[in-house]
Amino acid sequence: MGASAIERIWRTTAIVMCAAVPASFYVLGDLTDAFPGVLTVRSTEEGPSFGPRAGAEDWERVAAEETLPTSLPAAAPVDPADLEERMSAGADLPVVAGGLAFSVIDAETGQTLAAREESAALVPASTLKLLTAAAVLRQYRGDEVLTTRAAVQDGVITLVGGGDMTLSEDDLRELAAQAAALATEQGATEVSVALDDSYLVGGPNPAWGNNGQPGGWVTPTASLALNEGWLDGEEYGPKSATPARDAAERFAELLSEGGLTVTGVITAAQAPQEAPTAEVHSETIAELVRHTLLVSDNTTAELLAHLVALSRGEEATPAGAAAAVEAEIEDLAEQLGVAPEAVASLEIHDGSGLSRQNRVPPALLSAVLAEVASGEAPALEQILFDVPIAGLSGTLAGRFDAEETEDASGLVRGKTGYLGGAATLAGVAVLPDGRTVGYSIAVHGFDGADADAARAAVDQVAAEMVQVD
């Protein structure tokens, strides 16, 4: 290597070190001419003529090559048989009592590295949201937004839902202000309000059973809602049974606060096609997916499933939404070459995983996640970064803190799930040998009183993928 090349490397190294620890390495940068200073080799017209002796003056100058980082030795390849044995040991935990199923698939090759009862049709709980996310991202670009409009004509302001159930008070206030301005321009000081919620049928899903709106689990899907229909702002607090109408009533109040006189009751009507309109927009669908997976939001998950139905030309009802997601995942599973028996046992009855009737085999879910992490499916890649990180974010922030699993904190990414006797986790991880895998783990058949122990058991099984002692 020529002297000039060595000098460039040495100078660059000094700059990086100075940026990292300015106080310690200033003199080193000065010595190597990375920047001017009292020790610079370059001549300058003026410079300090006094000052304390720099400690770096006595340092031995080393070759640039010796300062550059070196690669760590590659870890030995993970033995699939050993991985499977270590993960299967979780079946002996008292709370598990044999009720353990899992699948781990190499994202690059599609090879199954470890499996136990991988084709069993099990309740996925909220890990089903991963399939809903995959389905909607296959149908939409992700940068689309949901639009709520207000059509103003002949003294009638029609609020038109476009699927946005995340409208904030500020959003609705802005829409009301725009609509009031349009009405004023048309010479109206007195208006009536109509609601057009024909964008989708929505409503409660009978498959939720006792996990629906009355229990605070989810808001029935609607063409629009204020704050997701959360009546007290809490995810599992009381939910509106009529979110679109509640939003329309608040909209009418905001019109009144804006100076218009609102008369009569809110009626149901389709908006006139050519009427002047005001509009506000939701976050992108990609952001809605991110939010859904991070905090396990049932309401937005159900909305996303309905959007899949709209895109596929299915009826946007709870049953139509579930059927659309199932069909989309069956198409994906066929492309991935998932075993026919695993695909045949797939049953999806909602978009959130609240239904106890849902059935998803670990082999199918892990295959989808391996595809997410493969780099071969750009549309799905965001899921890799949206799922919570063990011990750090989302629904995994308080997990992986036990002695048996704490070393896996920050290393495992996954979507959690729990539903009366089923504790699940599915996501992506990087094995010690550098291979990225998609995985799905389910502990099933335990008593509901042992929920915490079951979740801990799931974490313990997952930790084996990163070889935590």
Burial track 148-175 (b if 16+ CB lie within 10 A, e otherwise) = bbbbbbeebbbbbbbbbbbbeeebbbbb
Q: Residue 34's pLDDT is what?
A: 38
In degrees and rounded to multiples of 5, residue 266 shows phi and psi of -75, 125
Alpha-carbon distance of 467 to 433, in angstroms, equals 10
- pLDDT for position 64: 40
Give DSSP secondary structure letters for 90-137: GGGSTTTTT-EEEEEEETTT--EEEEESTT--B--GGGHHHHHHHHHH
- What integer pLDDT is reported at residue 76 of this predicted model? 85
According to DSSP, residue 325 is labeled: H
* β-bridge mates for residue 423, sequence order: 418, 443
Q: Assign 241 to helix, strand or coil.
A: coil
Tokens of 198: 């024909």
* Phi and psi torsions of 404, nearest 5°: -75, -15
Distance from chain centroid for Cα 409: 18
3-state class (DSSP) for residue 143: coil
The pair of three-digit structure tokens given for residue 21, joined into one six-digit string = 């620890």
pLDDT at 167: 98
Strands 267-268 and 190-196, sheet pairing: parallel
C-alpha closest to that of 139 among 360, 339, 332, 272: 332
Measured CA distances, 191 to 153, 183, 187, 264, 280 (Å): 9, 8, 11, 9, 20
CA 26 remoteness from chain centre? 43
CB 239 within 8 A of CB 213: yes
Whole-angstrom distance, CA of residue 259 vs CA of residue 190 = 9
Walk along the chain (469 residues) in steps of 10 and give the mean pLDDT of each run: 40 37 36 38 36 34 42 73 97 97 97 97 98 98 97 97 98 98 96 97 97 96 98 93 98 96 96 95 98 97 98 97 98 94 95 98 97 95 96 96 93 96 97 96 95 97 87
- E strand or H helix at 454, and its extent? helix 451-463
Positive or negative CA dihedral for 12, 17, 22, 24? negative
C-beta of residue 13 within 8 angstroms of C-beta of residue 64: yes
- Between CA 367 and CA 329 the distance in angstroms is 11
**What's the pLDDT score for residue 75?**
73
Partners of 268 in beta bridges: 195
Q: How far apart are CA 195 and CA 176, in angstroms?
A: 13
Q: In order of start, what are the domains of the chain with their CATH numbers?
A: 3-67 (no CATH), 80-141+315-466 (3.40.710.10), 145-290 (3.50.80.20)
Look up residue 221 and give its DSSP letter. B
- Cα–Cα distance, 403 to 414 (Å, whole number): 19
pTM comes to: 0.83
∠ CA 156-148-380, nearest 5°, is: 165
- Gap between the Cα atoms of 360 and 353, Å rounded: 10
